[in-house]
Amino acid sequence: MRVGRSTPPTGQVASTFAVSGEGDRLALEGVLDIHTLPEAQRSLRQALKQRKKGALDLANLSGLDTPGALFLCGLGDKGVAFTGVRAEHKALLDLVCGLELKPLPKPKSVPRWRQFIIGLGRGADEAWHDTGDVITFIGRAASAVGNVLIHPRSLRLPAISRQIEETGVNALPIIGLMAVMISIVIGYQGVAQLRPYGGEDFTINLVAVSMLREMGVLITAIMVAGRSGSAFAAEIGVMKARDEIDALNVMGMNPMALLVVPRVIGLVITLPLLTFFSDVMGLVGGAVISQVQLGVSPVQYVDRVHHALDASDLFVGLFKAPVFGFLIAVIGCMHGLRVRGSADSVGRETTRAVVKTIFVVIVLDALFSILFEKLGL
């Protein structure tokens, strides 16, 4: 005799199952259900291993469920006969054994080249729709900002000042540190590359021009995109998940004017100021590397910077800053409003907002560089 005992959840009695008998006749006792089925499969397969045909007495089988009946039907298909079947068990066995059990069809394998083409098409379609969504939301945000500027009484100055503090004042330490480190790296590599040609003195020009024209605004925009753009998407996304946006609409308040406009105006004001601060800290980092690597005093460094820079260098960087700030705020708010009511959606849209803003900033910076080169600035 082989007895199987399952471990039931707390507070339930364990189901028991036993196989007894000799020769070609075996008897089942107890309960044959999903809990005792693994032990029953092992016991019966071992008992029937030496028999081509056999019989099972089910008279003492006190319990049977669908998985157990499905197992017995499989034995019946192999030539095992059943005796002493109770009426309630016979009804279940007739129902289960009468089913046409067919294996699930195997999914059609798609060639890898086709998967690659499908992925490209899907990505292109998503990019096309995302581009349309961004352009549409830019128009809506620009209209809302223009309406607020035309009617200054609707400006929410406390909300704007709060955004300036959070996106600007609180970001000064990390922006300053990044600017100093980037300028030191540029200066160190410039000295290393120009010294063999006797042109290491031009490292000062390299650091000053690159920081004011490109690196200052680019590093600042990327840091703000990761810091403030993600915050915009997460804050508005959580409000959307909690149905607070719908509540604002019910109360007759415009979410664009209440949530998007203060963030857009705040970041458009903040990013040029952060860019100017980043330029100053980049020049400080250049002074440090010039003192250490070239032996140039701070007074000499200031004089060299004065001759190396032009007003257009500062203008180019500051001109790009409000454009980047507007797009960072718009894309962050847009993805926040696209949240669909779950924590997973908040994280997904926040990630997309950061990736998209950084991509847009880098692409626009390249286009601005080409434009200013054509204009001779």
Q: List the domains of the chain with CATH numbers.
A: 2-97 (3.30.750.24), 127-375 (no CATH)
Confidence (pLDDT) at 90: 79
Mean pLDDT (whole number) for 227-255 = 85
Give the tens place of pLDDT for each residue, 124-175: 888 888 888 888 888 888 888 888 888 888 788 888 888 888 888 898 999 9
Residues in the chain: 377
Confidence (pLDDT) at 274: 92
Confidence (pLDDT) at 52: 53
Which DSSP symbol is given to 257?
A: I
Is residue 351 scored above 50 in pLDDT? yes
Confidence (pLDDT) at 222: 92
Crossing angle (nearest 10°) for helices 216-224 and 172-194: 140
Quickly state the pLDDT bin for 1 (edges 50, 70, 90): very low
Confidence (pLDDT) at 8: 47
**pTM, rounded to two decimals:** 0.69
Confidence (pLDDT) at 116: 87
Mean per-residue pLDDT over the chain, rounded: 82
Give the tens place of pLDDT for each residue, 43-69: 777 766 655 556 777 777 778 888 888
Confidence (pLDDT) at 9: 45
Whole-number Å distance between alpha carbons of 332 and 351? 10
Whole-number Å distance between alpha carbons of 34 and 65? 7
Mean pLDDT (whole number) for 97-121 = 80
Give the tens place of pLDDT for each residue, 341-350: 777 888 888 8
Confidence (pLDDT) at 48: 67
Q: Are 66 and 96 in contact (CB under 8 A)?
A: yes
Confidence (pLDDT) at 53: 59
Region for 295 from its dihedrals, namely left if φ exceeds 0, alpha if ψ lies in -120 to 50, beta otherwise? left
Whole-number Å distance between alpha carbons of 247 and 112? 48
**Pairing of β 2-5 and β 25-32:** unpaired
Q: What percent of the chain has pLDDT over 90?
A: 11
Crossing angle (nearest 10°) for helices 112-150 and 261-289: 110
Mean pLDDT (whole number) for 274-293 = 88
In the chain, what is the straight-line distance between the N-terminal and C-terminal CA atoms, in Å? 95
Give the tens place of pLDDT for each residue, 3-35: 344 444 444 445 676 777 665 667 777 787 788
Neighbouring CB atoms inside 10 A of 10's CB total 5
Confidence (pLDDT) at 7: 43
Whole-number Å distance between alpha carbons of 271 and 189? 28
Whole-number Å distance between alpha carbons of 184 and 289? 6
Whole-number Å distance between alpha carbons of 325 and 271? 6
